[in-house]
């Protein structure tokens, strides 16, 4: 119970309402693949099909291995006949594999992103034990203050400056519960991608970035119960008030999760799809699973396009700062030219992945596809007198705004590199011209001295001593100015 709860005389209960249920039915997740690695992808899929294809679902009529591999070759929109998506079938991990403890089986898809990237998508179906563990966390009542260690700056006694210290920061019980659910789902995904990385050269997981997911929750709790401030259950599982938009009258997509200060809110790249099957008429309930699968497999990839952009933008933002710092440290001296060129190469190498991802305009079509789902809801939302909903438009606009910011920062840093390279090139050219002029002058002096020695050989010893002194003066002068 927080201080405010004591003050208001309320005992907030964030456990699940009595008689209600909440299930994490599946995790729909995706990671990026480089198209240039298509041969490695084909070999990996070949191994995956032979090693992990689930016997529980083989009933005949499925494509053979060669058919899958041929389709991957044709995932290119420049071809007259091409594939935008390939369903590779159901898979399950072998006994003894750690991921098998939480993952019953998973459906795998290869999707076309743009001219440089493909993506691998997986619809992960959880085991009963994983469901039970999720329910143990979600159903529980978390109470009391929760704490984590935070680094701060403190004053020094009797002196100027500051010192680094540690302090304990408190956060409420709802945030702690949301964090535990986030970490639990994250661990399941991490174990899954540890296994998948043995077959495919996935990008985000390899860089230590948690790949995004759409976490599907099935419940019989009406969403309006979030407004019951005495039962802050939704907040305790990371669902903000007024967040998300309805896909239909039975399901809602949450675009922004809510975690404690232990996590940067921008590092939570997961969406949550809440489905209330109890509100679906009995005669339609038999179709709800297939409707859900259709939404995830047909539209999930449009959500992921924006999330991938957001991840790459934020990842690159930190990289740009490092390169800007290193560029500013390089002084305008000729001997630093090689270091500058090397730093420019490293910068271009680090932004290559991002530039290839934004090369094609995939945003217009993706936004249009999501508008097919949320367009009517968005029009209603805009007509509301007081609207605080975090909608799909906010989700898209925030990501594209970040993209525009990163592009400007890239252009600015590229201009800084070009300016510094041009200055050093001009400096180098100036010094080369100066050296050529000095060399010509010395050659002229030596030629005159040689002619003098030929005409007046008796004066050669005296003239030689004087010439040596003159050359020594010139050498010291050149040493000081070059």
Identify the sign of the CA torsion 13, 15, 17, 19: negative
Please give the pLDDT value at position 292.
86
Give the residue from 413, 401, 316 showing the smallest Cα distance to 356: 316
For residues 255 and 271, the answer to whether their CB atoms sit within 8 Å is: yes
- The parts of the chain modelled with pLDDT lower than 50 are 1-9, 230
d(CA 25, CA 29) in angstroms, rounded, equals 13
pLDDT tens for 146-199 read 555 666 666 666 666 666 666 666 556 677 888 889 999 999 999 999 999 999
d(CA 445, CA 276) in angstroms, rounded, equals 96
The answer to whether the pTM exceeds 0.85 is no
Phi, psi dihedral angles at 384 (to 5 degrees): -70, 145
d(CA 346, CA 340) in angstroms, rounded, equals 10
For residues 122 and 196, the answer to whether their CB atoms sit within 8 Å is: yes
pLDDT tens for 417-465 read 888 888 777 666 556 666 666 677 677 777 777 776 677 777 667 767 7
Chain centroid to Cα 262, Å, comes to: 19
d(CA 208, CA 318) in angstroms, rounded, equals 15
């Amino acid at each position: 119970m927080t201080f405010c709860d004591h003050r208001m005389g309320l005992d907030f209960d964030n456990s699940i309402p009595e008689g209600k249920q909440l299930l994490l039915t599946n995790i729909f997740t995706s990671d990026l693949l480089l198209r240039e690695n298509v041969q490695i992808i084909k070999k990996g899929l070949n191994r995956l099909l032979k090693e992990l294809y689930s016997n529980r679902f083989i009933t005949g009529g499925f494509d053979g291995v060669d058919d899958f591999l041929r389709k991957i070759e044709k995932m290119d929109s420049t071809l007259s006949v091409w594939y935008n998506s390939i369903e590779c079938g159901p898979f399950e991990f072998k006994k003894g594999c750690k991921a098998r403890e939480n993952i019953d089986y998973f459906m795998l898809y290869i999707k076309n992103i743009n001219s440089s990237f493909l993506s691998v998508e997986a619809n992960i179906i959880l085991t009963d034990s994983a469901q039970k563990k999720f329910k143990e966390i979600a159903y529980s009542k978390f109470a009391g203050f929760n704490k984590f260690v935070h680094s701060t700056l403190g004053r020094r006694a009797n002196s100027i400056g500051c010192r680094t210290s540690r302090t304990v920061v408190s956060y409420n019980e709802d945030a702690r519960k949301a964090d535990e659910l986030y970490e639990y789902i994250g661990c399941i995904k991490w174990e899954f991608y540890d296994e998948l990385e043995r077959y495919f050269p996935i990008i985000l997981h390899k860089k230590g970035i948690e790949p995004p997911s759409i976490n599907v929750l099935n419940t019989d709790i009406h969403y309006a119960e979030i407004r019951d401030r005495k039962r802050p259950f939704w907040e305790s599982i990371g669902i903000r008030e007024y967040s998300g938009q309805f896909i239909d009258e039975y399901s809602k997509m949450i675009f922004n999760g809510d975690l404690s200060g232990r996590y940067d809110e921008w590092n939570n790249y997961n969406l949550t799809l809440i489905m209330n099957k109890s509100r679906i008429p009995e005669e339609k309930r038999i179709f709800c699973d297939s409707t859900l699968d259709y939404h995830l497999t047909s539209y999930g990839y449009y959500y992921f396009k924006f999330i991938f952009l957001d991840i790459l933008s934020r990842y690159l933002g930190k990289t740009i700062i490092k390169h800007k710092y290193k560029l500013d440290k390089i002084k305008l001296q000729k001997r630093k030219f090689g270091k500058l060129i090397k730093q420019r190469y490293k910068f271009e190498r680090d932004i290559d992945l991002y530039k290839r991802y934004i090369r094609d305009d995939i945003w217009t079509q993706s936004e249009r596809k999501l508008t097919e789902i949320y367009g009517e809801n968005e029009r209603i939302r805009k007509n509301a007198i007081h609207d605080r909903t975090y909608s799909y438009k906010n989700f898209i606009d925030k990501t594209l705004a970040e993209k525009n910011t990163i592009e400007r920062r890239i252009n600015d840093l590229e201009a800084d590199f070009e300016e510094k390279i041009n200055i050093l090139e001009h400096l180098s050219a100036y010094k080369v011209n100066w050296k050529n002029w000095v060399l010509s002058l010395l050659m002229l002096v030596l030629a005159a001295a040689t002619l003098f020695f030929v005409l007046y050989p008796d004066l050669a010893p005296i003239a030689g001593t004087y010439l040596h002194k003159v050359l020594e003066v010139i050498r010291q002068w050149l040493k000081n100015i070059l």
